[in-house]
Amino acid sequence: MIAVTFSMKARTSLYSRDTVIRCFVITLLLSVFASSAHALERKVFCVWDPVGRSGPVMAFYSDLIPKAQSWGLSIRFIAYTDEKIAANDFKAGKCDAVLLSAILSRQFVKFGGTMDAIGAISSQRGLETVLKTLARPKAGRLMTQGKYEVVATFPVGSMYAFVNDRSINNIGDFSGRRISVLNNDPQAMKFAKLAGATPVATTLSTFAPMFNNGNIDILLMPALAYNTFELYHGLGKRGGIIDYRLYYGMLQTVSRKSAFPDDFGFKMRKYIFTRLKAIDKLVSDAEKEIPAKYWIGVDQFTKDDIDHFSKRVRLALKDDKVNHPTALKLLWKIRCRQDRSRGECVRPE
């Protein structure tokens, strides 16, 4: 505590009464600020970034530190290159919140994990509407399951099919091909089964080498993965990327509700929505870095076929109790509100 040590009586010859009062007020404010800084609650975030501490996720999320201080929180990030370890450390109580892909976040909050359901968000406008909806105060009950809450959802771009042979350019061509199933992702597994493809179990450390070495024919990945994991080696001279969005890849931040103030989730989701333009730029820059020769154009018939197939996958996972039915219905409403001509709008999912 900073104290006012001078006496007004002793200083009357040097200071006016107003000057002394002003000094006292400034000193009092400094004391309050010092006490507030000392009172910041310390929280630890386990953050998955495939590149590590110097990666794009850590760089993007670093802006949260000063923002959280205004909320009375002091946040420390621990970087993980393996999201399974990050998830396990979160479960073990080594951190108060964790940032994961939607694949692994689903185990904590099924509603949030359904945000990356294949074909569920069909446009950039739809994506913005979804994130804006989740940023409302009432969304907290949807994003909460038991002791966990999804406090942030942000996209890492459209998920495309990377193929090692350009002749693989529609769903029918997936039959008999080897497709990566990352971290036992139930959606990729169901996708493979319904398409007649052969699922190949992969992890974050094995999927790129296996694709680049020709041991996998198909990868479902965002443009950000092209340079990060050097997937151009696997594309080579014959491969390409089917130029049609399957779904939006999502990262989720899951918190242990008891570790944070009640309004933390709302503040976080609102904050992330304000960063959407920055996220979009990261994604846009990554897509521009991919040489034009790799993009495989598709006609409207193929797009419609992919849409119908995507719905089969979504509903099959709903029946398997993997996808959250309320989340699917919300996403259906948003798609049909923006395009009522869609055939699926006759009946909700």
Domain boundaries, the chain: 1-32, 40-156+249-292
By percentage, how much of the chain surpasses pLDDT 90? 78
The string of pLDDT tens digits covering residues 148-204 is 999 999 899 999 999 999 999 999 999 999 999 999 999 999 999 999 999 999 998
How confident is the model at residue 65, as a pLDDT?
Answer: 92
Find out whether 113 and 102 touch, Cβ atoms under 8 Å.
yes
How confident is the model at residue 283, as a pLDDT?
Answer: 92
DSSP 216: -
How confident is the model at residue 343, as a pLDDT?
Answer: 83
Query: Which of 18-32, 79-93, 181-195, 224-238 is predicted with the least confidence, judged by mean pLDDT?
Result: 18-32
CA–CA distances in Å: residue 37 to residues 33, 42, 61, 62, 66: 6, 11, 21, 19, 12
How confident is the model at residue 60, as a pLDDT?
Answer: 87
pLDDT tops 50 at residue 19: no
Q: How many CB atoms are located within 10 Å of the residue 319 CB?
A: 10
pTM confidence score: 0.84
Q: Is 243 helix (H, G, I), strand (E, B) or coil?
A: strand
The CATH number given to 40-156+249-292 is: 3.40.190.170
The string of pLDDT tens digits covering residues 62-73 is 899 999 999 999
Residue with tokens 């080498």: 209
Parallel/antiparallel/unpaired status of strands 178-182 and 198-202: parallel
Give the span between the Cα atoms of 134 and 227, in whole angstroms.
31
Find out whether 231 and 208 touch, Cβ atoms under 8 Å.
yes
Give the span between the Cα atoms of 198 and 243, in whole angstroms.
22
How deeply is 157 buried, as exposed, middle or buried, from its count of CB atoms within 10 A (0-12, 13-18, 19+)? Answer: buried
DSSP H or E stretch at residue 145: strand 144-145
How confident is the model at residue 204, as a pLDDT?
Answer: 87
